[in-house]
Chains A and B, each alone.
Chain A
Amino acid sequence: MKTLNRLVIDAAYFLNSSVWYQKKRRFFSNLLENDDYKYKRYFDIFMILLIFSSVSILIYEVKKDVHDYLNIFNSYIISFIFFVEYILRLWIYSSISKVIINQDEYSDLLGKNFSLSFVIQRVIKDKLKYILSIKAIIDLLAILPFFHELRLLRIFILFRMFKLFRYAKNFHTFASILTTKKFEFFALAMFAIIVIFVSSVLIYVMETNDPNTKIKTLYDAFYWSIVTISTVGYGDVVAVSSEGRFVAIIVIISGISVLAFTTSLFVSAFTEEIEDIKEDKSIQDVSKLDRLYIICGYENIAKELAKKLTYAKFNIVVLDENLERINNAKKDGLLALNYNPGSVDSYKKLNVKMNTQVNAILCLREDDVQNVYTALTIRSLNKDVYIMSILMNHSNRVKMLNSGVNEVLYDKEFVGLVAREYVGQPVAFEVIHALRSDDSVINIEEIAITERVLQNFAFVSELDNIKYRVVLLGIQKKSKNRFFFNPIDETLLEVGDYLLVIGNYMFIKEFTKYLLTKVRDRK
């Protein structure tokens, strides 16, 4: 027994520390359960297509013969895929190895013997919890048509439709919204059930002995009540006696009330939750974005900047604790969330990876205290993310830099620089502005030196920029963090360097393409 225990524990530790196993487990867990995982959407679409094709074959089969291949596809292949999915879900629902390791550590701590039977009980309990869940039962019923020889089981193909709940997130949202009004729906249902029960009995008592009535049994009375209270009123079964008609009046009035209340409950549930739904949607959208810029605070400068960044096709999200400002951002067509930029929770809820997804965070409240607070909050979460902040009062510059801001933007200084342009060399400034303008055909661009460029070019002299009518203004050397104007021919190119070139944007495009084209391709 001890040897078996040892074997089980060793196997558990092996699996728990196996990178390959954990990677596979994480992959399937993401694929099946993680809505933010990019491949889950494709998996869901694939499963939905399988469900629809399965049900379509069932409908077609009612009056026509289907090809054997289709039957095999429907009964075996689809069922097999569903079976594999069922087993995978069962596998990822709970980790057996973790249960074994926990039990081993627990036994070790208390100096007790490792109990395999306890582990088995615990694992069975965990797995049963999944097996008996509604979703898992639906999954299991959807596999049953595999035994298609039992004709009765073919109808279980329809259960596959219920699997749609699993793959369409909207159904989850719909169900969760309705659950917020659980009590009200329950009260209304109780009212309707009482009215149906009382009216069924009443109409049965009052009508059943009337020779002209069609209500002969309690079932007929129940059918009449349902048809009447739902305000459908087929007219195939009607009350004929005066007493019966009086009951009908009561049921009709109750029916209208039930219908009106139900409708208003749906509407109010959705109205109350609509903001949360929109917020969830926004968070989902944000978490999928790369090279993201987070704008904290939506005031004048933020508004103008957001407009320009949107035009330049930057991915931006606006955070502001003020609802009015957030509504303005939304009106301006931006992805905006009513979160406090100075709260750690806001960034956690945002669900973005600061190091890989966020290019920069811009603190743009026109209030130094708020921007310092926001910068400190962000720094407490992440040491490396690039933070820019506007500065309103010059005396706060040091505080702002100490709070972890990488770049301080002082609007008064900018105004001073523009004033300098007017009194300095206006023509030279205009030339530079024209180079930076998006509307100009002559641009100044940064070209990154990548591994690919280095495969073909080692020195500045090899670049051939003059042939492409592109001016090489200089090179920003990463290793020296310095700009070298008009670099000499022997300057060595390294990964991470940037060439600053000036020229017609078409020529720059061609030149960039030339740099990235392999020598052997060019030959």
Chain B
Amino acid sequence: MKHSSALIFGYNEYGIEIAKNVSHKYKDIIIYSLNDVEESAENDFGFKIEKFDLSDRWDEIEARSDLESSMIFCALGSEANNIFLTLSLRSAFKDVTIISLANNKEDANKLQMAGASKVIPIVETTANIITDMLKKPIVTRVLHNILYENSALKIKQIEIQNEAFFSDRFPGDIEWSREYGVIVLSVIHEDMSGEFIYSAKAKHHTIKNGDIFVTVGYEEDLKEFEKLLGGRK
């Protein structure tokens, strides 16, 4: 039976951190190493380690994983190897999501040309996070805790299935925090365009089924709120 997997190429600190952070979503995580590894090896965190080489033999992966719902991370130590791997994977699998790491902008462009769905520029990402920490330390800490679930606060996308709840009311008119203990940040419409809850557009936009609320709150309150709006996302 094919699994929905996270396939991480690169048995290094980047690979392990990625594995740790996607483990809540993927049960089947395999870290591929270019070096020799013992058969059915596991690292300290319990992730499976397998050897691979840069030849175009991907039959084994294709056989075990449902690539449409899987995600591939290219996190090899060498930039050239990473680009080569991305190119090789893309030519083998047209629709799989490939996320590759790049050290700089030049490599990011090459990786995109090679077919990466998303590129994580390491230096830029680090610099962005440090800048945020220096510019707005409290905001960064709070948002970080919310986003990465380090606190009881959660952020949730809630799909509206009970549009009757909004009859004659606009989301900006309702005091969400007082009435339901949650804060609605924005509304994402069916066409995926987003509006901040108090923006002029959102104030005149009638909520329809299928719209998504991006909401912050404590887990229990969010569950109650979700029930109220009849959605699940």
Report if A500 contacts B (CB, 8 A).
Answer: yes
The answer, among A418, A427, A445, for a CB contact under 8 Å with B157, is A427
A469-B198 contact, Cβ under 8 Å, with A301-B127, A308-B127, A423-B22? yes
B134 and A309 contacting across the interface, CB-CB below 8 Å: yes
The smallest beta-carbon distance between A181 and chain B, in angstroms, is 45
User: Which of the candidate stretches B35-43, B57-65, B160-168, B210-218 sits at the interface with the other chain?
Assistant: B210-218
The smallest beta-carbon distance between B70 and chain A, in angstroms, is 10
A428-B142 contact, Cβ under 8 Å, with A362-B130, A412-B14, A416-B20? no
B175 and A308 contacting across the interface, CB-CB below 8 Å: no
How many inter-chain contacts with C-beta < 8 Å in the A-B complex? 177
Interface residue count on the B side (C-beta < 8 Å) = 71
A414 and B129 contacting across the interface, CB-CB below 8 Å: yes
Chain A 149-164 interface 0/1 with B at a Cβ cutoff of 8 Å (1 = within) = 0000000000000000
A419 and B129 contacting across the interface, CB-CB below 8 Å: no
A471 and B197 contacting across the interface, CB-CB below 8 Å: yes
B133 and A415 contacting across the interface, CB-CB below 8 Å: no
- A499 to B, closest residue via Cβ: B138
- B117 to A, closest residue via Cβ: A422
A220→B182 CA distance, assembly (Å): 101
Report if B30 contacts A (CB, 8 A).
Answer: no
* Chain A stretch 433-455: residues in CB contact (< 8 A) with chain B: 434-436, 442, 444-446
B125 and A486 contacting across the interface, CB-CB below 8 Å: no
- A362 to B, closest residue via Cβ: B130
A507→B197 CA distance, assembly (Å): 13
Report if A244 contacts B (CB, 8 A).
Answer: no
- Please indicate the chain B residues that have their CB under 8 angstroms from the CB of A473 in the complex: 142, 183, 216
A420-B22 contact, Cβ under 8 Å, with A304-B124, A429-B147, A504-B199? yes
The smallest beta-carbon distance between B112 and chain A, in angstroms, is 15
- Please indicate the chain A residues that have their CB under 8 angstroms from the CB of B124 in the complex: 304
Interface residues on A, range: 35 or more
The smallest beta-carbon distance between A357 and chain B, in angstroms, is 16
B216 and A416 contacting across the interface, CB-CB below 8 Å: no
- Please indicate the chain A residues that have their CB under 8 angstroms from the CB of B122 in the complex: 411, 415
A293→B131 CA distance, assembly (Å): 12
A486→B125 CA distance, assembly (Å): 30
A420 and B148 contacting across the interface, CB-CB below 8 Å: yes
The smallest beta-carbon distance between A393 and chain B, in angstroms, is 7
The answer, among A362, A423, A486, for a CB contact under 8 Å with B177, is A486
- Please indicate the chain A residues that have their CB under 8 angstroms from the CB of B181 in the complex: 486
A390-B126 contact, Cβ under 8 Å, with A446-B139, A502-B185? yes
The smallest beta-carbon distance between B23 and chain A, in angstroms, is 10
Report if A128 contacts B (CB, 8 A).
Answer: no
User: Which of the candidate stretches B47-55, B83-91, B97-105, B223-231 sits at the interface with the other chain?
Assistant: B97-105
A428 and B157 contacting across the interface, CB-CB below 8 Å: yes
The answer, among B125, B137, B183, B198, for a CB contact under 8 Å with A504, is B198
A423-B126 contact, Cβ under 8 Å, with A314-B134, A476-B142? no
- Please indicate the chain A residues that have their CB under 8 angstroms from the CB of B175 in the complex: 466
Residue in A409, A414, A423, A472 whose Cβ sees the most chain B Cβ within 10 Å: A423
The smallest beta-carbon distance between B7 and chain A, in angstroms, is 12
Closest 9 CB pairs of A and B: A416-B17, A304-B127, A420-B21, A416-B21, A305-B127, A442-B196, A469-B198, A411-B126, A412-B13
For the complex with contacts A301-B130, A308-B131, 10 further pairs of A-B residues with Cβ separation under 8 Å are A300-B104, A303-B123, A409-B133, A415-B120, A424-B25, A431-B186, A446-B138, A473-B216, A483-B142, A483-B151
10 of the cross-chain contacts (CB-CB < 8 Å) are A300-B103, A301-B127, A308-B128, A413-B17, A419-B99, A423-B71, A466-B175, A473-B142, A485-B217, A500-B142
